[in-house]
């Protein structure tokens, strides 16, 4: 293709600028604080397990999912994948990676730490590493994340984590008896 005379400066193939990531970047910078909130919330949800059981997890799903979606969309640009990895990824949502990498970064990070696909966007995995360094569970960033199960999209991670943890505790208690 012949080279055109006019080459726009600093053009991005995706029209987004840094201000679109302000809250997401704030969340990564405050990962330690958000980790504490998350752990407290997870403990409350686990205490409420008998209530979720009474109501029925499937009946509780919609209202809880709507609250989860509102909070996490605001703070993390959450895509509601249904298998939240934030506590392992420095409070940087991996689903914001244009390649949807659950284990990153890819080899295309720019020298300034931005994404090769969206040059104006800080690489979510570079941010994940930064955020993880501040967290108590900083080694979790080294975990290999399983592939995304797309059938869980749009469901509540909060309830899933709660019910998995309750089942794990029950098995543990039964083993002790
Ligand atoms: S990992 Fe999934 S659930 Fe967690 S913030 Fe990202 S899209 Fe939302």
The pLDDT tens digits for 32-56 are: 999 999 999 999 999 999 999 999 9
What domain count does the chain have?
1
Domain boundaries, position 123: 18-176
Q: Which residue has the higher pLDDT, 6 or 83?
A: 83
In a domain, 6, yes or no: no
Q: Answer yes or no: is 1 within a domain.
A: no
Residue whose CA lies nearest to ligand 1 atom number 4: 84
pLDDT of residue 92: 98
- The predicted pLDDT at position 27 comes to 97
- Tell me if 166 CB under 6 Å of ligand 1: no
Nearest protein CA to atom 1 of ligand 1, as residue: 84
pLDDT-derived band at 17, boundaries 50, 70, 90: low
Confidence of residue 115 (pLDDT cuts 50, 70, 90): very high
Nearest CA to ligand 1 atom 3: 84
Which residues are paired to 122 by β-bridges?
114
**121: Cβ below 6 Å to ligand 1?**
no
* Alpha carbon nearest to ligand 1 atom 8, residue: 78
3-state secondary structure of 176: helix
The number of beta carbons lying within 10 Å of the beta carbon of residue 33 is 13
pTM score of the predicted model: 0.87
In the predicted structure, residue 108 carries a pLDDT above the cut 80: yes
- Return the pLDDT at 174: 86
Task: Give the pLDDT score at 52.
Answer: 96
Ligand 1 touching residue 28 (CB < 6 A): no
pLDDT for the residue 40? 98
Judge whether 3 lies within some domain. no
Average pLDDT on 115-131 reads 94
Q: What end-to-end distance do the CA atoms of the chain give, in Å?
A: 74
User: Is pLDDT above 60 for 14?
Assistant: no
| 5 is a domain residue | no
CB 82 within 8 A of CB 176: no
């Amino acid at each position: 293709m012949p080279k055109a005379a006019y080459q726009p400066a600093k053009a991005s193939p995706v029209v987004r600028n840094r201000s679109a990531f302000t809250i997401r970047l704030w969340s990564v910078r405050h990962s330690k604080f958000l980790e504490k909130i998350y752990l407290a919330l997870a403990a409350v949800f686990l205490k409420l397990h008998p209530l979720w059981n009474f109501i029925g997890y499937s009946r509780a799903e919609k209202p809880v999912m709507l609250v989860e979606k509102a909070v996490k969309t605001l703070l993390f640009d959450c895509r509601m994948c249904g298998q939240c990895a934030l506590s392992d990824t420095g409070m940087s949502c991996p689903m914001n990676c244009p390649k949807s990498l659950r284990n990153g970064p890819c080899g295309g990070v720019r020298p300034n730490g931005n994404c090769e696909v969206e040059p104006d966007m800080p690489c979510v995995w570079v941010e994940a590493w930064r955020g993880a360094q501040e967290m108590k569970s900083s080694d979790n960033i080294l975990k290999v994340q399983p592939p995304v199960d797309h059938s869980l999209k749009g469901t509540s991670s909060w309830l899933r984590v709660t019910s998995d943890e309750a089942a794990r505790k029950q098995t543990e208690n039964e083993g002790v008896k």
